[in-house]
Amino acid sequence: MNRRAMIKLGGMAALGAGFGGCASRTRAGITTSNAAVTLAPVNVAWERIIRTTVGLRPYRPSGFVLRAEKLDSRLLIHNYGHGGGGMSLSWGCGQRAAEMALDSTGPRRAAVIGCGAVGLAAARQLQRRGFDVTIYTAAVPPDTTSNMSLAGFTPTSAVVALDGRTPAWDAQFQGVVEIAYRQLQLLVGRDYGVSWLYNYSPIDDLRIAAGTNTLMPAHLQGEREVLEPGAHPLPTKYAARRSELRIEPSIYLDAMLRDVAQFGGRVVIRRFADPRELLSLEEPVIVNCTGLGARELFGDQELIPLKGQLTVLVPQPEVDYATTGAGRAGSADLPSAGLHMMPRADGIVLGGTRERDVWTLEPNEDELKRVVEGHREFFTAMGSVPSTRRTGRSAAGTRSSSSAPPRFR
């Protein structure tokens, strides 16, 4: 959004204060609303933690790799390095990979290397185009990085560095994100664990609500609503609200695995240490979906881990919204790493960490404290918003009770 549009928004918000109970008004892609919203606070307490998980996002500053090359007589298609957006982008990149596979003149048989979200979606896109698919992989769900993701529809999250972008890469991205967004919408429902929910962000400065994402096509950014003071329980002046797609990894990845099998696919547990080992495969098409594993297997030194960790609380069915931006800022290295809360059937998931080039799968205790305490402060403040600012359901009995972080065991 440009400065003029932001000024318009500021004027619009100020105007809104004079219209009690007024319906939303839209201008410049942002709507303001003073219709009251009630949100059940998350009960953040150390004794409610049920697990902390760690995953290494496969990050490449110049973006994911999606291209074909020859490997002896085979067609080798690379599809890896999706950073913090692999759950979101997998169907789009899978479709492009399957289209490249159609260039192979051999029989329609394909080997997919890797069984995370990217490999599974590539396998399904190949099957849809008539390929007989075998997935060869070192690990299957629940032991993939994909199982460790939050996972909202965040296709631009840690996917490319600002100075790593080229017009060609941007164009490829914009094509795949469009496909991916449409495909995930078609999977909404219990079977795949894909659903829509509202995501709320606390804001005091309306210019933050007006921020733009220059990589994402404008028509996929959706409408952002600003809830005016008094219309929301967040401990800030305003709350920004948008609709978000949520993917519950354990349900989704198991469903994808079932679909691959249902369409005749096979899974073989096998780790490849060297690209030459791929030549022992019979399939004329090989799709490399090894995520971070591509660094070692194909010597891609640009690929580095962005370590992320999630702390999961006992589920709270009454929490039916997500939040982004609670708590304190991240590390000096990545000061903008805001905190996220995502409610799922397998627990209330708290995240918001990115440790660059850190390879350990051990939880970082300082980050754990930052994420838990940041959310605890946020939801405690939300629970204590005066009743005059709240409507409906009371927060009583759902406030956090403990402030003592335990040591790791």
Ligand X SMILES: Cc1cc2nc3c(=O)[nH]c(=O)nc-3n(C[C@H](O)[C@H](O)[C@H](O)COP(=O)(O)OP(=O)(O)OC[C@H]3O[C@@H](n4cnc5c(N)ncnc54)[C@H](O)[C@@H]3O)c2cc1C
Single-letter amino acid, residue 175: G
CB of residue 21 vs ligand X: minimum separation in angstroms? 35
Contact set with ligand X (CB under 6 A): 55, 57-58, 80, 82-88, 113-119, 137-139, 144-146, 148-152, 154, 271-272, 289-293, 297, 308, 310, 351
Query: Closer to ligand X at the Cβ: 82 or 96?
Result: 82
Query: Closer to ligand X at the Cβ: 234 or 289?
Result: 289
What is the token pair recorded at 21? 């109970």
Contact between residue 391 and residue 36 where contact means Cβ atoms under 8 Å apart: yes
Query: Closer to ligand X at the Cβ: 41 or 352?
Result: 352
CB of residue 170 vs ligand X: minimum separation in angstroms? 18
Query: Distance between CA atoms of 68 and 287, rounded to whole angstroms?
Result: 9
Query: Closer to ligand X at the Cβ: 30 or 54?
Result: 54
CB of residue 109 vs ligand X: minimum separation in angstroms? 18
- Side-chain half-sphere of 215: how many Cα atoms within 13 Å? 22
CB of residue 405 vs ligand X: minimum separation in angstroms? 20
Which single residue is written with the structure tokens 């927060």?
395
CB of residue 383 vs ligand X: minimum separation in angstroms? 26
Q: 91 burial class (0-12, 13-18, 19+ CB within 10 angstroms)?
A: buried
Contact between residue 117 and residue 86 where contact means Cβ atoms under 8 Å apart: yes
Q: Virtual CA dihedral for 380, 385, 391, 392, nearest 10 degrees?
A: 30
CB of residue 385 vs ligand X: minimum separation in angstroms? 28
Query: Closer to ligand X at the Cβ: 32 or 147?
Result: 147
Query: Distance between CA atoms of 288 and 166, rounded to whole angstroms?
Result: 23
Query: Distance between CA atoms of 67 and 98, rounded to whole angstroms?
Result: 11
Contact between residue 135 and residue 257 where contact means Cβ atoms under 8 Å apart: no
Query: Closer to ligand X at the Cβ: 351 or 363?
Result: 351
